[in-house]
């Protein structure tokens, strides 16, 4: 495996199947496959570097998203935006990822999926370029998402290396989420309220673009460690449906974002961008090893149940 961060999250060189290649580099591809497989059967998280992803686009999305989040609340919700099914604006406290916590998460977000309707966007004059920038970034994430799925299929020795890719084709609920965590100088945290409650992701895989450190990942002993930033790195993890698909071989690991420790950090806001890969809405998730460890489940049925609990 490649290098690890100080906390032990693998940093995997993706250059053997970087986006500029039409076919994998055969001399290095098997190492990439093995590194990803090992990461997903142990910690459940890994960084990928050397992907050819245009990271300048992350900064563009941060900029236009900050302009959106700076709008008054009525500007973000006019016209009305739904927060169900991973579409639209969710105000601070609207989302509660850990339902055992008494209050919703101290963050706000805008969620875009290919199913988002035109009337679920803020008025263009209120935030110029917001819609276009989100859509363009979503389109950039899809091919990288598909390549990670293909690498995973090789790691599982599936007969069809495009098994997962084919089951993430349209119509899908793939979601691009831009998140804003306000400065604690601007909002008051309630008792036991956190930035992002303890949870596992819902779908197949997640791509996370971080601005500042803060994400904490649960270890096998139940303790959490903070994941440091890796320059040019994209953090990848799997969700519940992939864990079911692989009969628990690939691990959907709990993670969270707590309130910052120091007064200096608590006075800062933060942003992040997340691409959630969800299977096609007509996909049935069955254990690929034929073990029937989990009964077959409709992907949309499962996602709807998780969205219902969250919102």
Give the per-residue pLDDT at 122.
Answer: 86
Give the per-residue pLDDT at 167.
Answer: 95
Give the per-residue pLDDT at 124.
Answer: 87
Q: Check the CA dihedral 41-10-206-44 and report its sign.
A: positive
Give the per-residue pLDDT at 5.
Answer: 47
Express each pLDDT in 120-174 by its tens digit.
888 888 899 999 999 999 999 999 999 999 999 999 999 999 999 999 988 888 9
Give the per-residue pLDDT at 6.
Answer: 45
- How much is the pTM? 0.94
Q: Which domains does the chain have, with CATH numbers?
A: 11-310 (2.60.120.330)
Express each pLDDT in 242-259 by its tens digit.
999 999 999 999 999 998
Give the per-residue pLDDT at 311.
Answer: 67
- Which portions of the chain are predicted below pLDDT 50? 1-2, 4-6
Closest CA to 172 of 246, 282, 255, 91: 282
Give the per-residue pLDDT at 84.
Answer: 58
Closest CA to 226 of 213, 239, 236, 216: 216
In this structure, are residues 145 and 276 in contact, taking their beta carbons and an 8 Å threshold?
no
* Residue whose tokens read 């299929």: 153
Give the per-residue pLDDT at 189.
Answer: 86
């Amino acid at each position: 495996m490649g290098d690890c961060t100080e906390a032990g999250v693998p940093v995997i060189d993706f250059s053997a199947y970087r986006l500029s290649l039409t076919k994998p580099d055969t001399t290095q591809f098997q190492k990439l496959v093995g590194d990803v497989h090992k990461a997903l059967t142990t910690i459940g998280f890994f960084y990928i570097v050397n992907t050819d992803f245009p990271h300048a686009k992350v900064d563009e999305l941060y900029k236009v998203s900050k302009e959106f989040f700076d709008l008054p609340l009525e500007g973000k919700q006019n016209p009305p935006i739904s927060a169900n099914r991973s579409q639209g604006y969710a105000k601070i406290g609207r989302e509660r990822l850990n339902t055992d916590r008494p209050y919703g998460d101290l963050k706000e977000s805008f969620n875009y999926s290919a199913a988002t309707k035109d009337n679920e966007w803020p008025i263009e004059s209120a935030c110029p370029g917001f819609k276009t920038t989100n859509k363009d970034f979503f389109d950039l994430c899809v091919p990288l998402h598909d390549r990670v799925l293909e690498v995973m299929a090789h790691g599982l020795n599936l007969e069809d290396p495009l098994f997962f890719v084919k089951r993430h084709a349209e119509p899908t609920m793939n979601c691009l989420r831009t998140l804003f965590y306000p400065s604690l100088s601007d909002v008051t945290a309630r008792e036991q309220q956190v930035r992002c409650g303890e949870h596992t992701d819902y779908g197949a895989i997640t791509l996370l673009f971080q601005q500042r450190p803060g994400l904490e990942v649960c270890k096998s002993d139940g303790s959490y460690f903070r994941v440091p930033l890796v320059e040019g790195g994209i953090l990848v993890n799997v969700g519940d449906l992939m864990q079911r698909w692989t009969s628990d071989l690939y691990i959907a690991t709990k993670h969270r974002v707590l309130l910052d420790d120091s007064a200096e950090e608590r006075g800062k806001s933060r942003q992040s961008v997340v691409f959630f890969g969800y299977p096609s809405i007509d996909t049935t998730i069955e254990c690929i090893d034929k073990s029937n460890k989990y009964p077959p489940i409709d992907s949309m049925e499962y996602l709807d149940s998780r969205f219902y609990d969250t919102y």
